[in-house]
Amino acid sequence: MMSAPTMSEQTARPGASILTAVAVRNLTKTFAAPGAAGRFTVLDAITLSVGEGEFVSIVGPSGCGKSTLLNIIAGIESHESGAVMVGSRAGHAGSQARIGYVFQSPRLLNWLTVQANIEFVLEAQNIPRPRWQELVAKHLALVGLAGQEPNYPLNLSGGMQQRLAIARALAIEPDVLLMDEPFSHLDAITARKMRFDLLDILAKARTTILFVTHDLSEAVFLSDRVYMMSIRPARIFKEVRVDVSRPRRPEDSRILDLEKTLVREFFGALEAK
Amino acid sequence: MTLALGLLAWEGISKFFLPVIFPGPLELLDRIFAIYSDPASYRVVGQSLSRIFVGFIISMLAGTAFGILMGLKRDVEIFFDSWIMVLLTVPAVCWAFLSVLWFGISETAPILTIVLIVFPFVVMNIWEGTKALENDLIEMGRVYKADRPLMLRKVLIPQLTPYIFSSLRIALSLSWKIALVAEAFGAGSGVGQELINWFQDTRVDMMLAWGASFMIVMVLIDRLVFRVWERRVFAWRPQFAT
């Protein structure tokens, strides 16, 4: 098991422990350069960790490789060097870890009912059938979709579809929930509501989250800790702890102040190049 | 309205010809009635229908499976790409003749003819469908570690359903036309055989009566079976919801 010394001095969300849920060490990923010889580096020596029960965000400009990083952690993309570890609970070896993933768009199976969409991942994860009913009902209620079981996704609004995607990810009781700009396709008002609701949901579900976004204020409002990522090469150039107690308000002056400082630093670093 | 005018014009023109050369709609109706008041006719239609369905079902099942395989496996696609094109370009009549030469007057000949012609059409259609599969959903399935059978059942085949339905339509309409040709060449029975018999007697009215009545049966199958089935399968689409 990996120890994370930097974590021990942090006071994360209540319920967060010092156990590591995700650990990435020195991860490097390159792609073949299109049209030219050689390769270009997408991710350059990325090191990060997420404690169990912690909400960690990665903020970076579009195209900096954030999604690639999540895909590597999820195990659907390869990498050249470095180590990725997910899950620290006893009996959960790396590849066996349960990973929930919420994408930018809901990526629902529109031909299946709301219930069957969740059952799809339960079946995929070999969760015993007798538990399905309970898991589906519990997580639909958690995201505010109770009673929608027989409905079809295309009859739901965009916000509700994304809620269903969140319920689907939580239903497998994941070791970590990866979220890739999950609110960027929603209108500002719906997105704002979804952020509040996400924090409510997490207060109940106590899930570990690794959240990727290009929106600094979103990251600061939601997270216990924020990593800032640069583009070309994609490196993590700063790590910040958000020491504001929960429940939070986005207009809280401590959050706004931190946001201002980070915006200055973030764009300072990006534009310096 | 246009249908009524068309029928009227048809009836009018037919007055200038003998019914055995160019029958009018009323005469045609009379012949159809005559055919189906003879119980033996139902056996003839039954023989043709059973051949059509066997050929149609073999073509659909094999064509769908093969089309998916070609769409998903790059090496299978490369290997069979030109063979499917070859199958598609051979004229239907060639297959009908060949089947008779190989299998004689038998049940196999017309069924084989149907399969040889319909199967590559189905393959082409389903293969085309696999190119439109959404990578986002496949990625979602992989993230959640869905195994191959689960992916096929819940992610891939549902996305191919529109292509499967269009294949069903094409396959059925092709199957029955080919069946009649194949039967005319060498089955010794069935609607196609009736057509060739009446052709030898130069009885256009009887040929049309057989052909038209059989066509009606096929259209009814399309409307009553496929359309209804399609509505149920696509109930998840808001515009199909009732």
pLDDT tens, A123-136? Answer: 999 999 999 999 99
**Would you say residue A2 has pLDDT above 80?**
no
**Residue-by-residue DSSP string for A172-227:** T--SEEEEESTTTTS-HHHHHHHHHHHHHHHHHH---EEEEES-HHHHHHH-SEEE
**Would you say residue B137 has pLDDT above 70?**
yes
ipTM above 0.90, yes or no: no
The predicted-structure confidence for A201-248, as pLDDT tens digits, reads as follows 988 888 999 999 999 999 999 999 999 998 877 889 889 999 888 888
Residues B232, B161: contact at Cβ < 8 Å?
no
A239 — phi, psi (to 5°)?
-130, 130
| pLDDT at A12 (0 to 100) | 45
> B159: number of CA atoms within 13 Å, CB side?
21
Burial degree of B232 (CB within 10 A; 0-12, 13-18, 19+): exposed
Kindly state the helix (H) or strand (E) to which residue A41 belongs, with its residue range.
strand A39-51
3-state secondary structure B200-215: HCCCHHHHHHHHHHHH
| pLDDT at A6 (0 to 100) | 39
Angle at alpha carbon of residue A21, lines to A18 and A23, rounded to 5°:
100
| pLDDT at A88 (0 to 100) | 57
Mutate to test the interface with A, among B135, B138, B143, B242 (most CBs of A within 10 A): B143
| pLDDT at A248 (0 to 100) | 87
Query: Do the chains contact at B144 and A109, CB–CB below 8 Å?
Result: no
Query: Do the chains contact at B144 and A124, CB–CB below 8 Å?
Result: yes
Q: What is the mean pLDDT of residues B139-146?
A: 94
Residues 100-129 (A) with a CB less than 8 A from some CB of B: 101, 103, 105, 107, 109-113, 120-121, 123-125
Confidence of residue A33 (pLDDT cuts 50, 70, 90): confident
Residues 34-93 (A) with a CB less than 8 A from some CB of B: 71, 74-76
Mutate to test the interface with B, among A69, A121, A175, A176 (most CBs of B within 10 A): A121
List of chain B residues whose C-beta atoms are within 8 Å of the C-beta of residue A107? 136-137, 139-140
| pLDDT at A21 (0 to 100) | 87
Q: What is the mean pLDDT of residues B163-186?
A: 89
- Among A66-80, A86-100, B16-30, B183-197, the range of highest mean pLDDT: A66-80
Give the list of residues 6+ apart from residue A64 with CB closer than 8 angstroms, or none: A229, A230, A231, A232, A234
Residues 123-182 (B) with a CB less than 8 A from some CB of A: 136-137, 139-147, 150, 154-155, 158, 161
| pLDDT at B62 (0 to 100) | 96
Average pLDDT of chain A to the nearest whole number: 86
**Would you say residue A196 has pLDDT above 60?**
yes
Q: Pick the residue from chain B with its C-alpha nearest to A124.
A: B146
Tell which residue, A177, A29, A161, A12, has the closest CA to residue A102: A177
**Would you say residue A93 has pLDDT above 50?**
no
Between A and B, how many residue pairs show a Cβ–Cβ distance under 8 A? 56
> B194: number of CA atoms within 13 Å, CB side?
25
The predicted-structure confidence for B55-113, as pLDDT tens digits, reads as follows 999 999 999 999 999 998 888 888 888 888 888 888 888 888 888 888 888 888 889 99
Q: What is the pTM of this model?
A: 0.82
Query: Do the chains contact at A154 and B236, CB–CB below 8 Å?
Result: yes
List of chain A residues whose C-beta atoms are within 8 Å of the C-beta of residue B141? 124
The predicted-structure confidence for A254-263, as pLDDT tens digits, reads as follows 999 999 998 8
**Would you say residue A110 has pLDDT above 70?**
yes
Residues A244, A252: contact at Cβ < 8 Å?
yes
SS3 state of residue A135: helix
